């Protein structure tokens, strides 16, 4: 029997262990082949036959593991390892929203966070929301950016994701609706090949309350994915994109493998491939990498 698809189960290492019983349930649900353990207790690949109306949807499979902190990912068996990674930064590669953290230093944290929530849920235009939030930062000393950076944490698995993909000849780009001041530093910390973002304007040691134009937002993220793939001579099917907010939707839909990572409701509803529990290592498991192939630097 041919198995053109792969069902990958990934457990949140901090909250769950993937058991033989869980693997057996999933295999029976999809009529799958012999499981291949990617990481004991953490991740497994189960070959799946061609899709049919009798097979459960990803939503049904996820429901089977409700309350068990296990992610369910279905990918094509062919071409799983991607040659390009395009990743969002805020709430994806890092655990926080750097603009919201800047706003807290300016004393306008609640105002800016409220706009951020609406923007990331797709309730208001991203560019409009960005200009409105940055305007509230007018007069904030640029030294606040250093303090925000010092308190910013990488998402677990971020360095491993980038190092492993680069070790296997993939190009990795950080593409953010945030700011180059942060992306340049986070990209260097994680080992990304390049970074793209917006520019915070400053003068005399303080922010002017303006952002450089044109703004890198939803459509620009998609365009950058396409440009980077073309520059590498890759088909879009050979690309991986990951993000959490509404401004990531277009690039997630365009990529060969678009993954919603701990995503906002509007994104989780639109993107079938989701990571709701595990860390960024799950993106490697989704490409069929066993833990023995992981790189840390």
Q: What is the pLDDT of residue 221?
A: 98
Task: Provide the annotated active-site residues.
Answer: 88, 90
Question: Right CATH number for 85-225 from 1.25.40.10, 3.40.50.1000, 3.30.1360.30, 3.40.50.720?
Answer: 3.40.50.1000
Q: What is the CATH number of domain 1-78?
A: 3.30.70
Q: What is the pLDDT of residue 270?
A: 96
- What contacts 243, CB < 8 A, 6 or more positions away? 87, 88, 92, 221, 251, 252, 260, 261, 263, 267
Q: What is the pLDDT of residue 53?
A: 54
Q: What is the pLDDT of residue 2?
A: 74
Q: What is the pLDDT of residue 50?
A: 78
Q: What does each of the 297 residues of the chain score in pLDDT, given as a tens digit?
A: 578 999 999 999 999 999 999 999 999 999 999 999 999 999 999 999 876 556 788 889 999 999 999 999 999 999 999 999 999 999 999 999 999 999 999 999 999 999 999 999 999 999 999 999 999 999 999 999 999 999 999 999 999 999 999 999 999 999 999 999 999 999 999 999 999 999 999 999 999 999 999 999 999 999 999 999 999 999 999 999 999 999 999 999 999 999 999 999 999 999 999 999 999 999 999 999 999 999 987
Provide the 10 A C-beta neighbour count for residue 59.
10
- Domain-by-domain residue ranges, the chain? 1-78, 85-225
DSSP 72-94: EEEEESTT-S-SEEEE-TBTTTB
Q: Tell me the HSE value of 68 on the side-chain side, using a 13 A CA sphere.
A: 20
DSSP 132-150: HHHHTTTT-BTHHHHHHHH
C-alpha 11/C-alpha 39 separation (Å) is: 10
Q: What is the pLDDT of residue 297?
A: 76
Closest CA to 170 of 255, 277, 268: 255
């Amino acid at each position: 029997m041919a198995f053109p698809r792969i069902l990958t189960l990934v457990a949140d290492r901090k909250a769950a262990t993937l058991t033989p019983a869980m693997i057996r349930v999933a295999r029976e649900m999809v009529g799958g082949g012999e499981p291949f353990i990617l990481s004991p207790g953490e991740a497994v690949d189960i070959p799946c036959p061609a899709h049919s109306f009798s097979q459960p949807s990803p939503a049904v499979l996820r429901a089977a593991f409700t309350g068990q902190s296990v992610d369910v990912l279905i990918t094509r068996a062919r071409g799983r390892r991607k040659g390009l990674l395009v990743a969002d930064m805020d709430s994806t590669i890092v655990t926080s929203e750097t603009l919201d953290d800047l706003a807290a230093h300016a004393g306008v944290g609640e105002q800016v966070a409220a706009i951020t929530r609406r923007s990331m849920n797709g309730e208001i235009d991203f560019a409009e929301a960005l200009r409105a939030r940055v305007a509230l930062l007018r007069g904030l000393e640029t030294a606040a950016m250093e303090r925000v950076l010092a308190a910013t944490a990488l998402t677990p698995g971020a360095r491993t994701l980038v190092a492993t993909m680069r070790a296997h000849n993939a190009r990795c780009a950080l593409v953010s609706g945030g700011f180059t001041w942060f992306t340049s530093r986070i990209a260097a910390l994680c080992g990304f090949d390049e970074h793209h973002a917006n520019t915070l304007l400053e003068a005399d040691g303080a922010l002017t309350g303006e952002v450089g134009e044109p703004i890198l937002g939803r459509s620009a993220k998609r365009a950058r994915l396409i440009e980077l793939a073309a520059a590498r001579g890759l088909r879009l099917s050979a690309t991986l994109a990951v993000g959490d907010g509404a401004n990531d939707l277009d690039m997630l839909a365009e990529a060969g493998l678009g993954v919603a990572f701990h995503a906002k409701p509007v994104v989780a509803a639109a993107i079938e491939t989701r990571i709701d529990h595990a860390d960024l290592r799950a993106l490697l498991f989704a490409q069929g990498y066993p833990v023995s192939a992981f790189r840390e630097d």
